[in-house]
Structure 1
Amino acid sequence: MSRFTKIALIGLILFPFAFLLMLSVGRQWPYPAVFPEQWSLGNWQLVLVGSEGLGNSVLLSVLLSLSVATLSTGLSFWVSRHIAYHPKREAWLSLAYFPYVFAPVILAACLQFFFIVAGLYGTFGGVLLAQLFITFPYGVIFFSSFWNERLRSMEELVKTLGGSTLQAYAKVLVPVAKGALMTCFFQLFLISWFEYGLTNLIGVGKVPTLTLRVFQYVNEANIFLAALASCLLILPPVALLWLNRAVVFRERIAP
């Protein structure tokens, strides 16, 4: 591949990000101007201050996605182990695919009544629980291919030497699964971070995550704030991509 082709491909990949960044610092873009007439960092100040509350949406989204990813990764890792060694493994594993039969919005509509009765409708805890319905099964499916007879033999060896189940997890299973756990955590974080349907219907607008803010500004035809929210929305995925490459990928190629 020639140098020119590489530069062209890099430019093509980076163009959407550069375009969003340009819009986020622009104001007043009348037709047929090629670029916005005014440039200002005033939009970015809304992240820290201002009535838009973008800063609160960022913190809310980070807290929600971290909570969902942590809970789903830990629970799915533990549950997937029991499913993997169960005599009816295939039957139990097939249930993990059931939530994906419906679109997230349809799934949320089916669960809506129960959340209202439980008093979780329009709350942070309700949105967190709703997202577990799609992230937890994903984690179970992800770890389904991780467990094997070698790991089972290692766990039994720990117990033979007098170790407990907790020690087997802490000293053997978790260290061995470190790369898989981090990869699963990253993927579940991104699922929660970009989730719209469940969050919108169960949260009824009272849990304004960053993803909801982007759609709100798009519906309002506010392209500058939509671009700003989009820039904030892609920062964690880029950071996680770099971290995954720097940590997980490096561990896999290490001798």
Structure 2
Amino acid sequence: MTSQVRATARWRPQGGWAALAAVTVLLAPLAPLVLWAVADRWAFPAVLPQRWGVRGFSEVLTAPTRAAVGRSAAVGAAVAVCATVLGAAAGRVVGWNLIRRRGLTVALLMTPVGVPPVAVGMGLDTVVLRSGIPQTGAVIVILTVFALPYTVFTVGSRYAHLDPALEEQARLLGATPAQAHTRVTVPSLAAALAAAAFLSFLVGWTDYTVTLLVGGGQLVTLPMLIGAAASNVGNEPVVAALSMLSVLPPLVLLVLAAKVVRALDPPTARPATKSRPAAGGSTP
């Protein structure tokens, strides 16, 4: 029995190689960025930079860059809050089948995934300018719509594994509908809400097209700085340094979100299997 448990707990080569391959695929594109960020000169056909330095970071770490990072973080946070709240409400309807024609509802919720952002931005640019809607608010609203499919189905898949009878039992015990939802259902959704908030934050943090077209160039975020720097020849160290600034916060949030999800939604323990008595032996 003990030997079987130890053998099961050992590292499996197949799973380990798969994890290593996944990490390699995810981190491989970052290698050139890291090299360019610490290179002052890297000309073709050299494999490595001819001169190392931090010129890119010295030109990037300025007040305009810090302001752009703050705007990107603010837009991402606003989109995360709005999309997570709306996605949780819609996920309840989808996960518990509380609406007729569920297939049509799911198809409508998936529409933002199939609509090119450039088409939406070009279509709403003139509307925003003529109606006097604040450009920052319009960008947040549009990006919230694009983030809804991720939040709806992340939270909705969790709702599908929850029993609605738990809320009904809480109401029978004297809780109001709001108390039954916040004290019984929401704690079970905590991990899914954390994952949905992370995904929707990425939509706001990384957006370029909608911010450029609808923002009218007035809302300068970090992706817009990267695009402007990339349009100039010989600016590779600056582009790499800006790209590193855009990559590091999501990586940190990804680690934190993974820890939050693991803490709020621990894996279900498997029941221990009983060992069979040896042939001819007595059962204790």
Q: Same fold (TM over 0.5)?
A: yes
Question: Which residue of the partner structure matches residue 126 of structure 2?
Answer: 113
Cα gap change, 1:253 to 1:47, in 2 (>3 Å)? farther
- Does 1:39 pair with 2:52? yes
Larger radius of gyration: 2
2:157 corresponds to 1:128: no
Counterpart position of 1:245 = 258
Question: How big is the shift at 1:32?
Answer: 4.9
Which residue identity is paired with 2:75?
A: L
Q: Which runs of 5+ in 2 are unaligned?
A: 1-12, 270-284
Matching residue's letter, 2:207:
E
Instruction: Indicate which of 203, 214, 217 corresponds to 1:202.
Output: 214
Would the alpha carbon gap of residues 73 and 156 (structure 1) be closer, same or farther in structure 2, given more than 3 Å must change?
Answer: same
Q: How many residues align?
A: 249
Deviation per CA, 1:35-92, whole angstroms, max 9, x where unpaired? 4454333432445435xx2111111111111110111011110233245312333332
Identity of aligned pairs, percent? 27
5 Å-filtered alignment, 1:139-158, equals 139-148=151-160, 150-158=162-170
Q: Which amino acid aligns with 1:54?
A: T
1:59 equivalent to 2:70? Answer yes
Q: SS in structure 2 opposite 1:99?
A: helix
Normalized against structure 1, the TM-score is what? Answer: 0.83
> Shift in Å at residue 233 of structure 1?
1.1
Q: Which string of whole-angstrom CA distances, capped at 9 and with x for unpartnered residues, describes residues 104-141 of structure 1?
A: 111222223332233236x3222111211211243223
Please tell me the residue identity of whatever aligns with 1:187: L
What amino acid is aligned across from residue 119 of structure 2 in structure 1? I
Measured at CA, do residues 46 and 63 of structure 1 come closer, stay the same or move farther in structure 2, by a change above 3 Å? farther
Residue aligning to 1:22: 35
Contact 1:99 1:107 in 2 (8 A): no
| TM-score normalised to structure 2 length | 0.76
2:193 equivalent among 154, 160, 181: 181
- Contact 1:96-1:138 at 8 Å conserved across structures: no
Where does residue 193 of structure 1 map in the other structure? 205
Q: CA deviation at 1:243?
A: 1.9
Whole-angstrom distance in 2 between the partners of 1:159 and 1:117: 49
For 1:168 and 1:98, locate their aligned partners in 2 and report how far apart those are by CA, in whole Å: 32
Contact persistence 1:73–1:181 (CA under 8 A): yes
RMSD between superposed Cα atoms in Å: 2.8
Q: Is the 8 A contact 2:38 2:56 kept in 1?
A: yes
AA aligned opposite 2:266? R
Aligned residue for 1:208, secondary structure, equals coil
Q: How does 1:46-125 map to 2 (within 5 A)?
A: 46-49=59-62, 53-83=64-94, 84-120=97-133, 123-125=135-137
1:227 aligns with 2:260: no
- The 2-side partners of 1:89 and 1:157 are apart by 26
Conservation of the 8 A alpha-carbon contact between 2:159 and 2:189:
no
Deviation at 1:149, TM superposition (A): 8.2
The 3 A distance-change label for structure 1 pair 78 and 17 is same
